[in-house]
Amino acid sequence: MATNEDIGSSQVEISGEGYDKKCIFCKIVNKEMGTELLHSDEEISCFKDIRPGAPHHYLVVPTRHVGNCKSLSKAHVHLVERMVDTGKKILLENRVTDLSDARFGFHLPPFCSVSHLHLHVLAPASQMGLMSRLFYRLNSYWFITADQLIEHLNSKGVPN
């Protein structure tokens, strides 16, 4: 049960989170699929997208199953911020230094194909093809940037 003291902590515990045996990303982060993990800690994991939409395309996910953007509350702001920080770290480790030409964001349901929360990290955004520009389009009703999501969550009340 989350308490106010927990809000913003990386250890925030929200009921329903954990391992979903039907979830492909739960299997990946638990090393059941042979997918290389570029980052893995108790809270956050990262791996390459199997169908890259840009020369660099990483997925940053919570290590424990968390549902899509619509299931999030203000209590998840710290988690989303850590996901973004991990995405930036992975880009830098892969010699992508122009973070202003990177895209960080989420598909909104029903446009998510995997229910496990995942941040798309795409770079260089300027080299994305026509279809990727459409899939990961800014200010569309199917894709929201990480900054927009954080702003939206911060505007929500703290859950009881």
Residues in contact with Zn ion by the rule CB under 5 A: 20, 23, 25-26, 65, 116
- Respond yes or no: is residue 76 known to be catalytic: no
Closest CA to 16 of 104, 75, 85: 75
By beta-carbon proximity to ligand 5GP, the closer residue of 64 and 118 is 118
Q: How far is CA 151 from CA 41, 139, 144, in A?
A: 26, 14, 11
Q: Which does 51 bind (CB under 5 to 8 A by kind): Zn ion, ligand 5GP, none?
A: ligand 5GP
CA atoms within 13 A on the CB side of 142: 10
Minimum distance of ligand 5GP from residue 149's CB (angstroms): 13
Question: β-strand 103-107 against 143-145: which pairing, if any?
Answer: antiparallel
Among 112, 124, 133, 137, binds ligand 5GP (CB under 6 A): 112
Question: Binding marks (x or -) toward ligand 5GP, 15..54, rule CB under 6 A?
Answer: ---------x----------x-----------xxxxx---
Please, which residues have CB within 8 angstroms of residue 130's CB and are 6 or more apart in sequence? Answer: none
Q: Output the smallest distance, CB 126 to Zn ion, in A.
A: 32
- Encoded tokens for 71: 């299931």
Q: Give 96 or 143: the residue with its C-beta nearer to ligand 5GP.
A: 143
What strands, in cross-sheet order, belong to the sheet with 56-62? 39-40, 44-48, 56-62, 119-123, 103-107, 143-145
Interacting residues toward ligand 5GP by CB under 6 A: 24, 35, 47-51, 59, 107, 112-114, 118
Active site residues: 118
